[in-house]
Copies of this chain bind each other. A is one copy, B any other.
Amino acid sequence: MTESLGVSLLGAGNVGGGVLAALAAGAERYAARVGRPLEVRRVLVRDASKRRKGVSKRVLVDSLDAVLVDSRTRIVIELMGGERPAFDYIRRCLESGRHVVTANKEVMAKHGGELLRTAAAHGVRLLYEASVGGGIPIISPLSRDLLANEVTAVTAIINGTTNYMLTAMAQRGSDYAGVLAEAQRLGYAEPDPTADVEGIDAAYKLAILCGLAFHVDVSPADVTRRGITRLTARDFRYAEELGYAIKLLASGRLIEGELVASVQPVFVPKAEPLARVDGVLNAVQVEGDLVGRVIFEGPGAGPMPTASAVLADVLDVARDLVASRPPSETIAYRPVVVRPSSKVVSRFYMRVTVLDQPGVLARIATILGKHDISIASVIQFETDARSGTAELVITTHASPGGELEAAVKEITALNVVSEVGNVLPMVGA
């Protein structure tokens, strides 16, 4: 009989449970596809005395050492999430000569470069397909299938929670607080939704994608980030009237060799494929000099889709082990200069609440003109007779973010302006 290949897990939560269930259900096909059966050797959990469905109590351990002493564990799957202690655990596994498969976006975004070097130094692999886009293949396509391209842009919807919320706001005219409560009720949003709604989760994933796409060192701090908490039902109504969807877009580009990376709500023309990615779906669009534009779409979260990505990596490592294939050389990343968002040129949408009296638009237009910002359209959408205010929606032609910010400051200071609401970039020239 062929000897089994030992696999151990760090963490047995939702995703870990999915991975264990899939390993059990697919044992026969995985053995056939790998050439040797996979065997779950150890599962690291907080409380090893607690019973878990589908996990033999025999394999439960509560310390990393208990995993590392098992000489038959060749592959470790890290599914604990969070930066610590996952980062140290992954490093120790690599140093002990174990291949590691992780779904940990935070660790890979913050420490991916260092860990990949550690893996290379110890002749093992570190794979992380599940860290971005759940079940959607995107890490491997960027690493392998699009490697002949000079990738020029990555544009993605990579946070299902916020995409669910924005879709609900767009389709039902609901306000932010209402859809957040609903998303929490449905389990799509955490009790503390900060990481999702402030774009932190998406920024980790974008940092990983930019590194792979452009072969540069990117840290999450290099990503300009704005959340969705200030969006109102009115923004969605105006977007609809203008022919746009509002999406929390993760966007990375190299412009004249400088990195421009942002996670923010953006007006996306309805004709764009990404405008039609609704609900909890994720999608990643990659533009390259040879391929043009390709899009990968699918479920961005959930235990079984994530298990699909995790186990793809596990099977890949396992097949390498069976064929005695050493790891490929790591492609070196180079340092990159981050272009400040003030210098990034874009079209903009701006919602301004003004006193409903003559001459107001002229004063706003004068300020914009002074900053060389040319107006694409102005529409007065609503007038509130009670407060004597009107709402102007202004869209601009392409302008540097810094000029726009300066103009918004001056416009806000006008005594005829009661509020400058959201100012959002628009996709398109």
Residue numbers of A with Cβ under 8 A of B are 22, 26, 29-30, 32-33, 35, 129, 135-137, 140-141, 144-150, 273, 276, 288-299, 302, 304-305, 307-312, 314-316, 319-320, 322-329, 331-332
Contact = CB atoms under 8 A, between A and B. Distances in A.
A323 to B, nearest CB: 5
A145 B141 CA distance: 9
B294 A297 contact: yes
B298 A291 contact: yes
A35 B329 contact: yes
Given A296-B294, A312-B146, A312-B148, A328 B325 contact: yes
Copies in the complex: 2
Nearest to A314: B148
Contacts of A327: 323
A144 B144 CA distance: 11
A141 to B, nearest CB: 5
A326 B145 CA distance: 19
A281 B290 CA distance: 15
B316 A290 contact: no
15 contacts: A135-B292, A136-B294, A137-B145, A141-B145, A144-B312, A147-B312, A147-B316, A290-B304, A290-B307, A291-B309, A292-B305, A293-B298, A296-B297, A297-B297, A322-B329
B288 A299 contact: no
Contacts of A148: 22, 26, 30, 307-308, 310-312, 314-315
A51 B265 CA distance: 53
Among A148, A291, A295, the one with the most B-chain Cβ atoms within 10 Å of its Cβ is: A148
Nearest to A334: B32
Contacts of A293: 298-299
Nearest to A149: B308
Nearest to A302: B292
Contacts of A295: 295-298
A299 B287 CA distance: 11
A319 B145 CA distance: 13
Given A141-B145, A295-B298, 20 more contacts: A29-B150, A33-B331, A135-B290, A135-B292, A137-B146, A137-B294, A144-B316, A145-B309, A145-B312, A147-B315, A147-B316, A148-B311, A291-B298, A292-B299, A292-B305, A294-B296, A295-B295, A320-B328, A322-B329, A324-B326
Among A30, A149, A294, the one with the most B-chain Cβ atoms within 10 Å of its Cβ is: A294
Contact of A273 (B289, B297, B320): B297
